[in-house]
Structure 1
Amino acid sequence: MGQELLKEVPKLKEWPHLSGEGEYDYMEFIRDIDMIKEDFELPERFVTARFNTLFTKSSLIWYIKLRQAHGHQSWTWWKTQSIKKWSNGAWRSKL
C-alpha cells in the first residue's frame, strides 16, 4: 500500500458502521467494507483492526465475544460470521 494511497483512506468516522439492531442491512456493511478495502488496496489487518469502532451496540458485544473466543481472524472469516449471525430470508433475497 503506497503512502499516497494511504493518505486517501477515509477517516474512521466515514466508514460504515454496524449496530446489529433492527432491520439493518449487514450486506451493505460488508459490501462497503469490501469496496474500501479494494479501492485503497488495504491489507485485511488494516480493516479488522478497526472493528472495535465499526461495530456498535449489540454487534460490538457479538464481536468482542467472538474475538475473545477465536482471537484475531481475517476479514473473510468475519464476513462469514456476520452472514451467519444476521442472515435471514429478507437479506438472502438480495444476494
Structure 2
Amino acid sequence: MLQGYYAIPDELIMARLHSLFEKSAKRWYYGIGETNGKNTWSLWKQEIITKWDNDSWRYKIENAFKNCFFDPEKDKPLTWFLKLVERLNAL
C-alpha cells in the first residue's frame, strides 16, 4: 500500500516495519528476521499475508470478540473497550 500510493522506497518501509508489531507479532517478526537475515519488502509482505490473512486467524479473532463480555468486577471499562476496538480493527 505505501509503496503503491506514496512511492515510498523499500528501505524506508523496512526501517519502520518493526514498529508496527507488538507482543507475539513482534516476536514473530524478529524470528523471521533471524531465520532469513535481511529481507526485502516483497518477502515481508508475503510473510505477513501468509501469517495473518487466513481463515483460522480471522476465526480466532472473531471468536475472541464474540466471547468477550464486560465483567465490572475484573475489567476496567476503558481497557475492555480498547481491547474490543483493537480486535475490530484487526479484522
What TM-score do you get using the length of structure 2 for normalisation?
0.53
Residue 42 of structure 1, aligned match among 8, 22, 39: 8
Counterpart in 2 of 1:56? 22
CA deviations on 1:1-54 (whole Å, 9 max, x unpaired) are xxxxxxxxxxxxxxxxxxxxxxxxxxxxxxxxx1x3223311111101112211
Residue 82 of structure 1, aligned match among 45, 48, 55: 48
Query: Over the residues paired in the alignment, what is the CA RMSD in angstroms?
Result: 1.8
Q: CA deviation at 1:71?
A: 1.2
1:1-80 to 2 correspondences below 5 Å: 34=1, 36-80=2-46
C-alpha distance in 2 between matches for 1:37 and 1:83: 16
* Bigger radius of gyration: 2
Identical residues among aligned pairs (%): 30
Greater relative contact order (Cα < 8 A, sep 6+): 1
Tell me the amino acid that sits aligned with residue 69 of structure 1.
T
Which structure has the highest helix share of the two?
2
What TM-score do you get using the length of structure 1 for normalisation?
0.51
CA deviations on 1:42-77 (whole Å, 9 max, x unpaired) are 111110111221112211110001001111111111
Tell me the amino acid that sits aligned with residue 12 of structure 2.
F
